[in-house]
Amino acid sequence: MRLTGRGAPLELTELELPPPRAHQILIAVEACGVCRTDLHVLDGELPDIHCPLTLGHEVVGRVLAAGCDARFQRGARVGVPWLAHTCGVCRYCRAGRENLCVAACFTGYTRDGGYAQQMLADARYCLPLSEGPAAELAPLLCAGLIGYRAYRAAGDGATLGLYGFGAAAHLLAQLARSEGRRVFAFTRPDDGAAQRFALELGAVWAGGSDQPPPEPLDAAILFAPVGALVPAALAAVHPGGRVVCAGIHMSDVPAFPYRLLWGERQVSSVANLTRRDGEEFMALAARLKLTARVQTFALADANLALERLRSGALTGAAVLEMAASAAVAGPSARP
Ligand SMILES: [Zn+2]
Ligand SMILES: [Zn+2]
C-alpha cells in the first residue's frame, strides 16, 4: 500500500523487490502496526518526504532471504522498528545517542516500510522476536519501544499522567502498574470508551484532557499531538515535575504564563530510539508479558485503519495483518 503524494489515499501497488544486499534481509511481513507517525507522514507534516513510499515501522515478519553478511537466517522471526540506519561516525553515534544521528534513516519514512507483503531491511537494525501472534507483537515495536524511552525520561515518580490513551499509553499503563506506579489517564474530553479502557488497564483515574487530575502528578507523558496539552500538563505536575512529549510532531504550543514552568518543572521531547532501547524493551515486554490490545485490518484496508486512528475510533492499537503466505516456513519446518 503505497503513498503517492501528500494526503492521498494509499494505493495497492505491485513491486518487484531486488535481492537483499550484504546486510539486508528480505522479510515476509506477517503484521505491521499503524502508528500516529504514519499519519504525520501521510499529511506531509514531516520534512523531506519522497513519494512513492511504503509506510509502516512496526513490522513483524519472517526472513525469506538474507544477504551474505546479514545477522539473521532464513526462517528467523524478526521485528523492524523505526530506526533503519545510522552513520556510526557523527557526534551522536559516537556518544551512544544514535537516536539523534544526523544521517539516520527511518523505516516507513525515508525507507520503505511494512505496509506490504514483503520488505527489505538492514538486519543490523532489526530485532529478534519470539513466536506468538504477530499482530500482538507489532505495537511493541514503536508504541511500546519509543513509549518506553519516554517513560524512562519521565523519571521514577509515583504518579504518572498519560495524555492520549492509545497504543503507547495502554502498554505503558501495564508497565507502570507492574512497578507500583499510579497512572492518571487523560483522553479526548467525553471519550468514555477510552476512559473505561484506561481504568480496565489499571489507571487509578481517567478523565478528559481539559480536566485537572485529582492530585498533582510527578510526571506526564504526552502522546496526543496537541501542543495545547503542554501547558495543561505543566499545570498538572508538581514543582520539579517533568512533562515529556513523545510524538514526532505536534501542533504549535501556545504561549503560557511562566509560572507554569517555574518551580523547576521541565519540558522535554523524546526522539526515535537506539538499538539498545529496542533490546531492553523487548526483553522487558517478554518478562512482564505486556499484551497489546489490537484491532486488525487487512493490508488493503490500510486507509480505513488510518482513518480510524485519526478519528480516535480505536481502542488500543490498529494493526495490518497480511494474509498468510506459504512461501516461507518457520525454523521448526526447516531440515
Ligand atoms: Zn550518526
Ligand atoms: Zn511509530
Which class does domain 2-139+293-333 fall in? alpha beta
Do residues 237 and 265 lie in contact, with contact meaning Cβ atoms separated by under 8 Å? yes
pTM of whole model > 0.85? Answer: yes
- Per-residue HEC secondary structure of 211-260 comes to CCCCCCEEEEEECCCCCCHHHHHHHHEEEEEEEEECCCCCCCCCCCCHHH
The closest ligand to the CA of 86 turns out to be 1
Tens of pLDDT, residue by residue over 171-228, are: 999 999 999 999 999 999 999 999 999 999 999 999 999 999 999 999 999 999 999 9
What number of other Cβ atoms are within 10 A of residue 134's Cβ? 23
C-alpha cell, 264: 523547576
Tens of pLDDT, residue by residue over 34-68, are: 999 999 999 999 999 999 999 999 999 999 999 99
Task: Quote the CA–CA distance of 101 and 239 in Å, as a whole number.
Answer: 33
Distance 272 CA to ligand 1 centre (A): 13
Task: Quote the CA–CA distance of 167 and 174 in Å, as a whole number.
Answer: 12
Q: What would the CATH number be for the domain defined by 144-269?
A: 3.40.50.720
Distance 264 CA to ligand 2 centre (A): 30
Task: For ligand 1, an ion, list residues with CB under 5 A.
Answer: 86-87, 90, 93, 101
Domain with CATH 3.90.180.10 in the chain: 2-139+293-333
Task: For ligand 2, an ion, list residues with CB under 5 A.
Answer: 35, 37, 142
Domain with CATH 3.40.50.720 in the chain: 144-269
